[in-house]
Amino acid sequence: MMSVRSTTTAQPHPMWDRAAETRPRAEREALQLERLRAQLERARRVPFYRDILSHRELGPQSLRSLDDVRRLPFTTKDDMRRQHPLGLLAVPRKELARIHGSSGTTGTPTFVGYTAGDLQTWSELCARFLVAGGLRPEHTVQVAFGYGLFTGGFGLHYGIEKVGAAVIPVAAGNTRRQLEIMRDLDPEVLICTPSYALTIADTARELGLEPRALPIRIGHFGGEPWTEDMRREIEEQLDIQAFNNYGLSEIIGPGVSGECQARTGMHIQEDHFLVECLDPETLEPVPEGEPGELVITALTREAMPMLRYRTRDIARLYRDPCPCGRTTMRMSRVTGRTDDMLIIRGVNVFPSQIEEALLRVEGTTPHYLIEVSRPGTLDEVHVKVEIHPEIFSDRMDRMQALCDRISREIQTVAGIRAHVDLVEPRRLERFVGKAKRVLDTRGLAD
C-alpha cells in the first residue's frame, strides 16, 4: 500500500512532503550542514576525492558552517570522464541498483550509479515536484520521455508511482500512437520535452484533431532548455498548465528542482542538494538574483557523492518567500551555458563534436558555422562549411557524396542529424581570437 502523506486535494497547495518542503530555513541549514559533513566522510571512500581532501587536509571537522562548502574541491564533467566508467563510486559495485548515463562530447556516455537508497530518494524528489505541479493519486500520466540510459523516463516513472498515480510508459516518439493512446486512456498529465509537446499539438492538427480537446490538463516538461514564450505557446495550444522541472544525470536526474502552482521559479530540494550560484570566471558567489553558474553538491547520494559539481548551467537563485508556503530557495530557468553546449532535440551537443566530425573529412575545416533554429517545433541544425579547392569537384555526385559524408560523421560523433550547407569561400565571418562557431536563433535566453 502506497502511503499518500500530507497530499490532499482540499489544501490549496498540496505537498508531497510538507515537513521537508516547509522546514524553517535555520533548521534546514543545520540539516544541510550535518549532511554535508556526512557526505564528506562518504566522499573519502572515492580515491579521486580522498586524494584531494587529504592533500588539502579537509575533513568533516573543517566544515563549521555551510559557507565552508567553498573550501571543498569542484568536480567537473572532465573529472567524471577521467574516472570513466565508474571511478567515482563510493560503494562497492555490488551495492549498485541501477546505472544511468548521459551523452558526452565523445559519444560515449558518462555513467552514473545508484544504490537502492538513491533510487528511493530519487522517486521521493520526483514525487515532490510532480505534486507541487498538480499531480494527484487519481491521475493517469502519459510519459513520453525516453526510457533508457537517459534519466528522464525512469526517474519520472517511479516518481509518479510513488505518488500513486497510474503511469502509461509510452516512451518517446511515434506521435500518432501517442495521440491514439491519449484518446483511448484519457491521461490528465503529460510528461515529455517541451518541444515534443508542441509536436504533439501539431500532429493532432494534422490528423484533424483539436489539440485543446485532448484530455491532458497538466504538463511537466524538462530535458531541454525552453522559454516563457514556449510555455505560453504550449499552454495555449493544448489548453493545459505547463510546469518546468530541472535536474541532471550527473547529480541524480530530474528532481533537483521543480515549479509549484505559483510558478515563480523552481523550488530546489535543498535538503538533498546544496546549490551555489557562482561567477564562472572568478568562482565567487554572485549576489542573489544575479545570473551565475549553478554548482551542486549532492547531500544524500550514496553511490556517487558528487561534491560541488559544475553544471555549466546559468540560472538565478531566489530566496524571497513563495506564495505556496514552501521555504526552499528557487531557481530560474536555465538561460544559458558557460561552455557552448547545445541541447538539440534533447541531445547534448558540443561544437567541438561538430569540429571533430569535420576533421574526419579532409579539407572541411577550419571555417564552419553551426546554425541552430527552431522553424516549427523541432530544433534544426545546419552546419555551414566553406568550400575549399581540396574538396571541390566539378562532379555533382562527388559534391553530394561529400555532404552525405560530413552528415554521417556528425551523426556518428554528435548523435544528431544535421543539414550540411556548403558555402562559398570567405562567406563565413572571420574572428580574431576565439571564433564564434554557433548561431543559435532559438532565443532560449529569455
Contacts with other proteins, residue ranges (CB under 8 A): 387-389, 392-396, 399-400, 421-427
Compute the distance between CA of residue 90 and CA of residue 113 in angstroms, rounded to an integer. Answer: 10
Q: What residues contact residue 128 under an 8 Å CB cut-off, 6+ apart?
A: 15, 16, 17, 20, 21, 255, 258, 269
Give 196 or 368: the residue with its C-beta nearer to other proteins: 368
Return the amino acid letter for 13. Answer: H
Give 160 or 322: the residue with its C-beta nearer to Zn ion: 322
Give 243 or 368: the residue with its C-beta nearer to other proteins: 368
Judging by DSSP bridges, how do beta strands 218-221 and 241-248 pair with one another? parallel
Q: What residues contact residue 142 under an 8 Å CB cut-off, 6+ apart?
A: 168, 170, 178, 181, 182, 185, 187, 189, 190, 191, 216
Rg (CA), the chain: 23
What are 273's three cell numbers? 542538494
Minimum distance from CB of 19 to Zn ion (Å)?
A: 16
Give 281 or 394: the residue with its C-beta nearer to other proteins: 394
Minimum distance from CB of 376 to other proteins (Å)?
A: 18
- The binder of 435, among Zn ion, other proteins, none, by C-beta within 5 to 8 A per type, is none
Residue with cell string 517511479:
158
Give 84 or 382: the residue with its C-beta nearer to other proteins: 382
- Find the binding residues for Zn ion in span 262-281 (CB under 5 A): 262
Give 274 or 370: the residue with its C-beta nearer to other proteins: 370
Minimum distance from CB of 138 to other proteins (Å)?
A: 52
What are 244's three cell numbers? 518546468
- The binder of 324, among Zn ion, other proteins, none, by C-beta within 5 to 8 A per type, is Zn ion
Is 20 one of the binding residues for Zn ion (CB under 5 A)? no
Give 7 or 175: the residue with its C-beta nearer to Zn ion: 7
Per CB under 5 A, the list member of 72, 88, 168, 324 interacting with Zn ion is 324
Nearest to 268 by CA among 250, 244, 286, 287: 244
Size of the site for Zn ion (CB under 5 A): 5
At 94, give phi and psi (nearest 5°). -70, -15
On the 0-12 / 13-18 / 19+ scale of CB atoms within 10 A, 424 is exposed
What are 253's three cell numbers? 536526474
- The binder of 286, among other proteins, Zn ion, none, by C-beta within 5 to 8 A per type, is none
Minimum distance from CB of 375 to other proteins (Å)?
A: 15
Give 209 or 391: the residue with its C-beta nearer to other proteins: 391
CA dihedral over 298, 300, 301, 304, signed as positive or negative: positive
Minimum distance from CB of 95 to Zn ion (Å)?
A: 35
Minimum distance from CB of 368 to other proteins (Å)?
A: 15
Judging by DSSP bridges, how do beta strands 336-337 and 110-115 pair with one another? unpaired
Compute the distance between CA of residue 298 and CA of residue 307 in angstroms, rounded to an integer. Answer: 7
Minimum distance from CB of 440 to other proteins (Å)?
A: 21
Give 187 or 258: the residue with its C-beta nearer to Zn ion: 258
Minimum distance from CB of 392 to other proteins (Å)?
A: 5
On the 0-12 / 13-18 / 19+ scale of CB atoms within 10 A, 285 is middle
- The binder of 260, among Zn ion, other proteins, none, by C-beta within 5 to 8 A per type, is Zn ion
Minimum distance from CB of 262 to Zn ion (Å)?
A: 4
- The binder of 388, among Zn ion, other proteins, none, by C-beta within 5 to 8 A per type, is other proteins
- The binder of 322, among Zn ion, other proteins, none, by C-beta within 5 to 8 A per type, is Zn ion
Minimum distance from CB of 114 to other proteins (Å)?
A: 46
Compute the distance between CA of residue 215 and CA of residue 187 in angstroms, rounded to an integer. Answer: 6
Using the rule CB under 5 A, give the single segment among 39-47, 188-196, 228-236, 326-334 that binds Zn ion: 326-334
- The binder of 389, among Zn ion, other proteins, none, by C-beta within 5 to 8 A per type, is other proteins
Q: Do you know the residue count of the chain?
A: 446
On the 0-12 / 13-18 / 19+ scale of CB atoms within 10 A, 87 is middle
On the 0-12 / 13-18 / 19+ scale of CB atoms within 10 A, 284 is exposed
- The binder of 360, among other proteins, Zn ion, none, by C-beta within 5 to 8 A per type, is none
Judging by DSSP bridges, how do beta strands 273-278 and 336-337 pair with one another? unpaired
Give 21 or 379: the residue with its C-beta nearer to Zn ion: 21
Minimum distance from CB of 345 to other proteins (Å)?
A: 22
Is 428 one of the binding residues for Zn ion (CB under 5 A)? no
Give 171 or 423: the residue with its C-beta nearer to other proteins: 423
Helix (H, G, I), strand (E, B) or coil at 347: strand
Is 418 one of the binding residues for Zn ion (CB under 5 A)? no
Enumerate binding residues for Zn ion (CB under 5 A).
260, 262, 322, 324, 326
